[in-house]
């Protein structure tokens, strides 16, 4: 997840995971951020070993319990099948239980990122240069907080989006959410849909 700018005053040592140290970048608070960092570190080797990549991880409270969502794709894109999702779900669930990374009971959901996949890190943005993206910012960019247009470039500390003949620079550290917007009129095949598998840890709590 190379080059980018970490959040101000961040002590997180790995610049390649700059988004994980910034509560404003997709994550609701520091606690969530820390949990996701630990989870990502533990389950990423499983994905890499199977020729997969983690596109995104979400952890949030829903209803009566916590839900952990892991979005996977083939390394380099191209879609993922049910067998790979099921295999990862089983292995990741075992690892998470052994390391007791999540406080309390939780559900693990593993799926493909879908057509309009979320873009989290610079390498993911780079794959979609020349394609349409939609970005929601935490602060105003040229008078707007939502920018949709063609991704022109990915720089060290942000992206350049072309909309109606105007280029806007959006720093990584003000991006609240970014998604690729698939053009259904293009000749490219849309990403294959995935399946979802649920993993319940039961009622054991972390102490």
DSSP secondary structure string for all residues of 163-185: ETTEEEEEEGGGEEEEEE---TT
Domains 16-114+191-200 and 122-180 share a fold: no
Q: What percent of the chain has pLDDT over 70?
A: 73
Domain spans of the chain, in order of start:
16-114+191-200, 122-180
> 140-191, pLDDT tens digit by residue?
998 999 999 999 999 999 999 999 899 999 999 999 999 999 776 555 544 4
CATH class of 122-180: mainly beta
CA distances from 145 to 122, 139, 162, 175, 181 (A): 20, 6, 15, 9, 17
Domain 16-114+191-200 has CATH 3.30.300.70: yes
Q: What percent of the chain has pLDDT over 90?
A: 45
Pick the range with the lowest mean pLDDT from 41-50, 70-79, 89-98, 190-199: 190-199
- At 186 the pLDDT is 54
Let me know the angle formed at the C-alpha of 111 by 110 and 114, rounded to the nearest 5 degrees. 155
Pick the range with the lowest mean pLDDT from 60-74, 118-132, 159-173, 191-205: 191-205
């Amino acid at each position: 997840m190379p080059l980018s700018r970490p959040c101000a005053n961040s002590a997180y040592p790995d610049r390649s995971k700059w988004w994980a140290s910034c509560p404003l970048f997709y994550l609701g608070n520091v606690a969530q951020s820390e949990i996701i960092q630990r989870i990502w570190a533990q389950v990423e080797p499983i994905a890499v070993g199977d020729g997969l990549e983690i596109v995104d991880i979400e952890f949030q409270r829903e209803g009566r319990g916590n839900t952990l969502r892991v979005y996977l794709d083939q390394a380099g894109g191209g879609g993922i099948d049910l067998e790979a999702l099921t295999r990862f779900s089983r292995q990741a669930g075992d690892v998470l239980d052994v390391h007791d990374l999540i406080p309390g009971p939780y559900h693990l959901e593993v799926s493909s990122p879908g057509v309009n996949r979320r873009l989290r890190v610079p390498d993911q943005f780079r794959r979609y240069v020349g394609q349409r993206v939609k970005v929601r910012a935490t602060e105003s960019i040229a008078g707007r907080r939502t920018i949709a247009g063609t991704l022109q470039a990915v720089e060290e500390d942000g992206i350049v989006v072309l909309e109606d003949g105007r280029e806007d620079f959006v720093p990584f550290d003000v991006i609240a959410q970014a998604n690729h917007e698939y053009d259904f009129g293009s000749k490219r095949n849309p990403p294959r849909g995935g399946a979802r598998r649920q993993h319940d840890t039961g009622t054991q709590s972390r102490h």
